[in-house]
Structure formats: C-alpha cells, structure tokens
Structure 1
Amino acid sequence: MKSGESDSSQIQLLGELRKGDVKAFEAIFETYRDKIYAFSYKILKSRDLADELTINVFSKIWEKRASIQPNLAFQSYLFRIAKNQIINLVNKASLDSKLQDQLIVSSQYYRNSTEEEVIYNDYLSLAEQVLNKMPKQRRKVFRLRNEQGLTYEEIATELGISKNTVKSHLKVATAELRKTLNMYPEKTFLLLCVLLRSTDI
C-alpha cells in the first residue's frame, strides 16, 4: 500500500474511532501497540510497567476518542500521551517505595538523538545552577550519591559524618530541586529521575 493510501486509510479509521467504532479502535491498537510498548520499555526497563503503560495509553485514546483530529499527526499525539503517562508514573514513584523498586530509569536513553542530547544538557545546566547555590557539604553529599552512586554508609564514611546527616543533606537538596522542578514542568521527568536516585536503597 502506498503512503498516500495508508494515510487515507488511517484518517478513515480515526474518523470511525471518533464515532466509537470498536473495530476501528482495535485496528489502531494493533498498529501502534508495539511502538508504544517499545518506547515505554526503552525508558522504564520493566516489561510489566511497559505493558501497564501501553494499556493506559490506549485507554486514554478510547476515553478521548471524540476529540481526536483524524487529519493531525496521530502518532505524535500517541507518543505525547505516553510521555505524560511516564511522567505521572515517575511522580507516583517518588512517593511509592514499592514502585521505586520496580522503576529503573536509564539516563543513557536521553542521549540517543540530537534533540535528546540538547534536553539532557539543558537539564544538567539547570541542575548545576541549583547545586552551586547549596552549601559545600550538601553539594558534596548530593554529588557522591547521584554522580558516583555511593550508598548512604559510603558517603558517611567518605565525609566523616553520620548516616543521618547524609540523609538530612539529601532531603534538603531534594526539596530544593523539587522547587526548581515546579518552575520548569517540561523537565519534570529528567529531574525526577535524579531525585529517585537520591532515595535510600
């Protein structure tokens, strides 16, 4: 099938989906399910979470079917929903220790394209500004935890302070980064990925 014919066929399917046609929804699901799953798994590194997120994405599509614009880029729309679902998941994980155990976030993902490299570097610059405003000891604790991956005990030994002091520094540093996060919602996912690494393991 030629590209024009394929586009025309999808526009027709989306038009039927808007009307609540279940078969049209199933066809759209079969077309994009693997792409959304692969995208989710690449970030989350969890088959169960990627499955759950994929289901949630298409549930949203069904719920919002009446607002779908068949002539607009549907795949981009799908991936925006997936990104928002991932952000929601990471936000939830920041408050749910069990979900934190499931969620594995690979920062290498953000270096896979020129655009992602720019976003990642933009994040680093922003985080650096926040860190540089922190007291020296707090900054050291945060860097040892997030840049070198040391445990609370290892950081305490390295700096000659107690484990509770390490926890206190990280708690305050995390709060300061969260304040920044609220000012830059488009960087929510990137910032939360780092904040999750600051939790005790």
Structure 2
Amino acid sequence: MKPSFSTVFTEKELIDRMKAGDSVAFEKIYDHYSQGVYGKLLKLVKINAIADELLQDIFLKVWENRQILDSNYTLRPWLYRVTENEIYKFYRKVALDIKLQTHILQTFDELYTHTEEEYYLKESHKLLQDAMTNMPPRCREVFELCRLQGKSYEETASLLDISTSTVSNHLVRATAIVRKTLFQSTDMALIVVTAYMLHH
C-alpha cells in the first residue's frame, strides 16, 4: 500500500515547496507516487532493472520540470503522461538498438519458459502478418522476400523484375508500417522479439 502524504503537508504544499527547491518535499512526493509508477513500468517492460532505470529517469524529469507544475492540480495525471512518454521512447529505442534487443532477449531466456518463448514467436509472426495486410501488394512481396525469407536486394530485384533501388524504397515503406504496428503493442517481450526477428 502506497504511503499517504504527511498530515503536516498537503500535496499542493509539497509541490509548492518542491518548486522552491525543497528536496525533502520532492522525496515525499517520490515516496507517494513511485510505487504506482514502478508497477506500471514493470507490467509493460517486464524486467526489474529496466523498470528501475526508467523510474529514476521519470522522477528526474519531475525534479527538472518542477517549475512548470501547477500545485492547484494533483500531480498524478501529469506524472502518468510522463511515464507513458518514457515507455514509448524506450519502445522506439528497443526497435532501433540491436545490442539492446540482444541484452533483453538474453534476460528473457532466464525468465521465460520454452512454452512462453513459443507463444511470443507465434504472436510476433501474427503481428508481422497484421502489419503486412496494411502494405501495398508489391511492398508486401519485397518485405516478405527480404525480411522473412532472408533474400538479398539483388535476389529480390531479380525475382520481381525491379531495380535494387526500388527494392530499397519498398523496404523503407514496409518498415515504417511494421514500426507503426509494433508501437501499438504494450507487450515489451513481443516488441523485442519482433524487432529482433526483423534484423536477423
């Protein structure tokens, strides 16, 4: 159960004191909200170390942006918007960072059973199929040949009787569609597995 605010200070008073640079007031706000924020983070990213890091980043932003806070309103809505933005930024980083994908997948190997691994692979293929339904026909063909079958640009160009530059253009468009679909998911493991598949 999260601790309540001090009977001496209301949330409004703590925010005003924090805006004036009172670190003790900030600590009380942290104590009140951190447990709920951490639970939301852990539910979405699944890994304690990552949730811990994001939690610190979020409350650093609270401190750095304390001057824009309006003490006439509760901090919760603003704080949860910051949390959602940080999670979204992390999703984007994972989708683009191969080393981070590898690190997280290694961590998943320690946490998830073989059955769960099969589940995420199945769901990842489903997510890619959903994305492909939104692609134009030729764009979908290029994506399937290059990303799912592992063919080179040259092989794909020869099979489809198009230039390699056209293959590249189709892949850029297809990747944008996949990323849009990917970022709609709230399952960190699914995002990581799918991003990893696209680069291997």
TM bucket (normalised to shorter chain) is 0.5 to 0.7
Q: Which has the higher contact order (CA 8 A, sep 6+)?
A: 2
Match runs of 1:41-52 below 5 Å = 41-52=42-53
Inter-CA distance 74–134: structure 2 relative to 1 (3 Å threshold) = farther
The AA in structure 2 aligned to 1:199 is L
Inter-CA distance 178–128: structure 2 relative to 1 (3 Å threshold) = closer
Between the aligned residues of both structures, percent identity stands at 23
Q: What is the RMSD computed on CA atoms of the aligned residues?
A: 4.1
Distance in 2 of aligned mates of 1:188 and 1:84: 16
The residue that corresponds to 2:111 in the other structure is none
Match runs of 1:4-83 below 5 Å = 9-83=10-84
Structure 2 residues not aligned, in runs of 5+: 106-126, 158-166
Q: How far apart are 1:177 and its partner, in Å?
A: 4.8
**Number of residue pairs matched by the alignment:** 157
The residue that corresponds to 1:130 in the other structure is 134
1:86-123 C-alpha deviation (Å, 9 max, x unpaired):
1222222233212123447xxxxxxxxxxxxxxxxxx9
Structure 1 residues not aligned, in runs of 5+: 105-122, 143-151, 157-162
User: Does the residue aligned with 1:41 lie in a helix, a strand or coil?
Assistant: helix
Inter-CA distance 171–29: structure 2 relative to 1 (3 Å threshold) = farther
Distance in 2 of aligned mates of 1:181 and 1:73: 37
User: Does the residue aligned with 2:27 lie in a helix, a strand or coil?
Assistant: helix
Q: How far apart are 1:72 and its partner, in Å?
A: 2.1
Inter-CA distance 137–31: structure 2 relative to 1 (3 Å threshold) = same
